[in-house]
């Protein structure tokens, strides 16, 4: 990629200062940037003291064998103790940890004291089933409290969990179980989605035909639906966990004890098994959750709408919030059941103050209409977060206006499964925000943008996003494949972590994420980012969502092909397509005009809501589709292919 990526000509120039009241009482002020810049390792050593260590670390970073990092290596701690017991010991046992909202409307609130009992019981059950420190446990559950309990129980005994999205196919589950060599699978009879009980266990039964190493399946009863049973292998959670003692002494594990393996979402290729360890990971998850959301555990009600099968659910439902003693909402189901205002009803019901969701959800809410959130009292909200994809300026403004009451700061948080925790984001009490930009590396994090020759680009130019120093919650390797770890992340630029994302720095030096490097288009010698063309399309009043790809073209190298979902009542027509092409031409320049625009009803997305552009590129170039195992719904691809009868 050269420096000459398109200037950002999108018209959104508004800037939003932090609310004065929030800034005055903010957990983190501008001084944190200076402190961390002056002594980065000292800064992280101080953040590690947020945790309770059984043995305090004396060493911060061991980078003697790069790119294999060790953080706080001579320290020992128990992650589950830090997320649960210590809050009870500090007198907060009666504080609600989890307000669980089931899709059918059932629910329960679990205090920290109750969570401690449940996690201890589950830890005892795992031990009874022969799970030992260092083993792997696969978790395939709906969004129910037992998912959190299962993860913490693994952490407590030093077994690594590997959470697989509930709803992945049997094949996708089997390959992950095999790759991690899991001994135990924790699942449920089913979960509720879109108003119906949806079975989960059949996929496990099918997967396990290929996984002879799995000794037991621990099954949570959630829906009560009929479930096939393998005697001797399958065990009910309520029987096995329910009869255990609520006493379990947490052992102190090494800071580098593996905590979990998690597979990436697969938007760019075959998923990678990312390994995270304990002390550094928990330090950064806790610090960023405290800093970026300005969490006040005594008064905030926090809600992250992610699934625990995604890294966001690991770091910002389980580990960060619980390490910080937060009260949070966990919702089982879909946003449109039984009506399209379900999320806002939940915000109103629990008085949610901090909401963390994804651009894909925000664009869906835009499509459904402003009148839906307007029916609910959202005045409790004070900070809004976004994660997963670049957020289009149009969607950012909509989020602020229609959800944030025109006053909530928005934190657009850039990070990856590999980074373990947030890396680039505004701070709500410090940053003057810019719609569409993640802006600046967090205190203690070093990020920049470089060109093909690894030279840092000047302000106003684009290139590749790199991280220039190791960070506490960084992945330690790709599970079982150190060489792939080196090749994927540390070989493109000497001594720097290659994130795989394109980015640019604006004239103030703020960072704008431009989508995957693999997705950047080269049209008649110009680099054009998919993100910018998509944002230009979404800024048209009739467009709700779009995905743009570059398809091989005989004359221009690549031609821009756009897939567009319309808002509410807008109808497909040749005139509209021409209007959209002109709109992009006017917004970004004639070179960025899509050659083809296809109006579609759905886009292929991963379970975490990310658009899978590589599949659209396969379609646009008439190729057989690549790996579709992480798609939410693979029938979407048939519908899109039907729209494209001939070669481009
Ligand atoms: P794979 O690596 O298998 O292709 P993936 O990268 O989609 O999967 P994740 O680790 O869940 O899996 O996603 C991380 C990516 O999501 C980032 O590299 C970036 O492209 C995108 N992303 C996340 N947050 C943001 C954000 N705030 N702004 C822009 N992009 C973001
Ligand atoms: Mg990735």
The preferred substitution site among 513, 515, 612 for testing ligand 1, maximizing ligand atoms within 8 Å of CB, is 513
Residue located via tokens 């709109």: 583
- Would you say residue 5 has pLDDT above 80? no
- Would you say residue 347 has pLDDT above 60? yes
CA of 612 to the centre of ligand 1 (A): 11
pLDDT tens, position by position, 490-504: 999 999 999 999 999
Secondary structure class of 419 (helix, strand, coil): coil
For the chain, the 3-state helix, strand and coil shares in percent, each to the nearest 5, are 30, 25, 45
Residue 549 phi/psi, 5° resolution?
Answer: -135, 160
CA of 237 to the centre of ligand 1 (A): 34
pLDDT score for 568: 76
- Would you say residue 8 has pLDDT above 50? no
Give the 3-state DSSP-derived string for 540-609, with helices as H, strands as E and coil as C: CCCEEEEEEEEEEECCCEEEEEEEEEECCCCCCCHHHHHHHHHHHHHHHCHHHCCCEEEECCCCCEECCC
CA of 417 to the centre of ligand 2 (A): 7
Residue located via tokens 């449920």: 188
The preferred substitution site among 262, 271, 414 for testing ligand 1, maximizing ligand atoms within 8 Å of CB, is 414
pLDDT score for 631: 84
pLDDT score for 10: 53
| 629 ligand 1 Cβ < 6 A | no
pLDDT tens, position by position, 141-187: 999 999 999 999 999 999 999 999 997 889 999 999 999 999 999 99
395-413 as b/e: b if 16+ CB within 10 A? bbbbbbebbbeeebbbbbb
CA of 497 to the centre of ligand 2 (A): 12
Secondary structure class of 99 (helix, strand, coil): strand
What are the tokens at 522? Answer: 């080269």
- Would you say residue 639 has pLDDT above 60? yes
Secondary structure class of 512 (helix, strand, coil): strand
Q: How much is the mean pLDDT over the chain?
A: 94
pLDDT tens, position by position, 61-85: 999 999 999 999 999 999 999 999 9
Distance between CA 92 and CA 112 in Å, rounded? 7
| 608 ligand 1 Cβ < 6 A | yes
What are the tokens at 283? Answer: 């330090």
| 311 ligand 1 Cβ < 6 A | yes
Distance between CA 129 and CA 123 in Å, rounded? 10
pLDDT score for 645: 56
| 488 ligand 1 Cβ < 6 A | no
- Would you say residue 632 has pLDDT above 90? no
Overall average pLDDT of the 431-440 stretch? 97
Ligand 1 atom at minimal distance to the Cα of residue 424: 27
CA of 233 to the centre of ligand 1 (A): 37
Residue nearest to atom 28 of ligand 1 (CA): 390
- Would you say residue 611 has pLDDT above 50? yes
Structure confidence at residue 648 as a pLDDT band (50, 70, 90): very low
Beta bridge partners of 160: 136
Residue nearest to atom 14 of ligand 1 (CA): 416
| 417 ligand 1 Cβ < 6 A | yes
Ligand lying closest to the C-alpha of residue 607: 1
pLDDT score for 90: 98
Contact by Cβ (8 Å): 200, 191: yes
- Would you say residue 647 has pLDDT above 50? no
- For the chain, helix (H) and strand (E) counts, in that order, are 22, 30
| 385 ligand 1 Cβ < 6 A | no
What are the tokens at 609? Answer: 């809501």
Beta bridge partners of 263: 273
Structure confidence at residue 630 as a pLDDT band (50, 70, 90): confident
| 534 ligand 1 Cβ < 6 A | no
- Would you say residue 1 has pLDDT above 60? no
Query: How much of the chain, in percent, has pLDDT values that exceed 70?
Result: 98
Residues in Cβ contact with 54 at an 8 Å cutoff, skipping those fewer than 6 apart: 76, 77, 78, 252
- Would you say residue 3 has pLDDT above 60? no
Residue 184 phi/psi, 5° resolution?
Answer: -135, 145
Q: What is the dihedral of CA 81, 83, 84, 90, to 10 degrees?
A: 90
Give the 3-state DSSP-derived string for 298-350, with helices as H, strands as E and coil as C: CCCEEEECCCCCCHHHHHHHHHHHHHCCCEEEEECCCCCCCCCCHHHHHHHHH
| 614 ligand 1 Cβ < 6 A | no
CA of 415 to the centre of ligand 1 (A): 7
Overall average pLDDT of the 529-544 stretch? 93
| 265 ligand 1 Cβ < 6 A | yes
Structure confidence at residue 206 as a pLDDT band (50, 70, 90): very high
Beta bridge partners of 23: none
| 615 ligand 1 Cβ < 6 A | no
Contact by Cβ (8 Å): 470, 489: no
Ligand lying closest to the C-alpha of residue 412: 1
Ligand lying closest to the C-alpha of residue 266: 1
């Amino acid at each position: 990629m050269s420096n000459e990526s398109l200037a950002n000509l999108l018209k959104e120039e508004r800037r939003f200062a932090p609310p004065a009241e929030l800034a005055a009482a903010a957990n983190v002020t501008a001084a944190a940037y200076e402190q961390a810049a002056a002594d980065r390792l000292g800064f992280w050593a101080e953040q590690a003291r947020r945790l309770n260590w059984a043995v305090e670390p004396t060493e911060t970073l061991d980078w003697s064998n790069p790119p294999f990092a060790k953080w706080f290596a001579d320290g020992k701690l128990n992650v589950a103790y830090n997320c649960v017991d210590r809050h009870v010991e500090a007198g907060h046992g009666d504080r609600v940890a989890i307000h669980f909202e089931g899709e059918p409307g059932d629910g329960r609130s679990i205090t920290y004291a109750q969570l401690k009992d449940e996690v201890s019981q589950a830890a005892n059950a795992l031990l009874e089933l022969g799970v030992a420190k260092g083993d792997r446990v696969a978790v395939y559950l709906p969004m129910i409290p037992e998912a959190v309990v299962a993860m913490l129980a693994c952490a407590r005994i030093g077994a690594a969990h590997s959470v697989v999205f509930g709803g992945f196919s049997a094949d996708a589950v089997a390959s992950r179980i095999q790759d991690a060599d899991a001994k135990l699978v924790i699942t449920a009879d089913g979960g509720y989605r879109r108003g119906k009980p949806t079975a989960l266990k059949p996929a496990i039964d099918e997967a396990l035909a290929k996984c002879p190493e799995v000794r037991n399946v621990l099954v949570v009863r959630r829906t009560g639906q009929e479930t096939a049973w393998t005697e001797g292998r399958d065990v009910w959670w309520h029987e096995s966990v329910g009869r255990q003692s609520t006493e379990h002494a947490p052992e102190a594990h090494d800071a580098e004890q593996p905590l979990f393996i998690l597979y990436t979402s697969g938007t760019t290729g075959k998923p990678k098994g990312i390994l995270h360890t304990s002390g550094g990971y928990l330090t950064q998850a806790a610090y960023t959750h405290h800093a970026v959301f300005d969490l006040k555990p005594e008064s905030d009600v926090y809600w992250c709408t992610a699934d625990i099968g995604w890294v966001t659910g690991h770091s910002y439902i389980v580990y960060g919030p619980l390490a910080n003693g937060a009260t949070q909402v966990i919702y089982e189901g879909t946003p449109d059941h039984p009506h399209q205002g379900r999320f806002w009803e939940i915000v109103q019901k629990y008085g949610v103050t901090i909401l963390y969701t994804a651009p894909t959800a925000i664009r869906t809410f835009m499509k459904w209409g402003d009148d839906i959130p307007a029916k609910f009292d959202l005045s409790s909200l004070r900070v809004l977060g976004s994660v997963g994809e670049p957020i289009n300026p149009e969607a950012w403004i909509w989020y602020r206006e229609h959800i944030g009451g025109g006053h909530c700061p928005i934190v657009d948080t850039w990070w990856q499964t590999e980074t373990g925790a947030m890396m680039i984001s505004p701070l709500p009490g410090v940053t003057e925000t810019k719609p569409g930009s993640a802006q600046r590396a967090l205190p203690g994090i070093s990020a920049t943008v470089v060109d093909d020759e690894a030279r840092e680009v000047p302000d106003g130019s684009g290139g590749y996003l790199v991280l220039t120093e190791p960070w506490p919650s960084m992945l330690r390797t790709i599970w079982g494949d150190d060489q792939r770890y080196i090749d994927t992340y540390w070989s493109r630029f000497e001594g720097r972590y290659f994130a795989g994302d394109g980015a640019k720095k604006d004239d103030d030096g703020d960072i704008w994420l431009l989508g995957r490097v693999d997705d950047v288009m080269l049209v008649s010698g110009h680099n054009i980012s998919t993100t910018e063309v998509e944002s230009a399309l979404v800024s048209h009043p009739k467009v709700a969502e779009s995905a743009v790809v570059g398809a091989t073209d005989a004359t221009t190298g690549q031609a821009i092909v756009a897939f567009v979902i319309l808002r509410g009542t807008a109808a497909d027509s040749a005139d509209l397509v021409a209007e959209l092409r002109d709109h992009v031409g006017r917004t970004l320049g004639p070179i960025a005009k899509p050659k083809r625009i296809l109006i579609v009803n759905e886009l292929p997305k991963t379970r975490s809501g990310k658009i899978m552009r590589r599949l659209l590129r396969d379609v646009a170039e008439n190729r057989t589709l690549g790996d579709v195992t992480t798609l939410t719904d693979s029938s979407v691809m048939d519908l899109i292919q039907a729209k494209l009868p001939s070669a481009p």
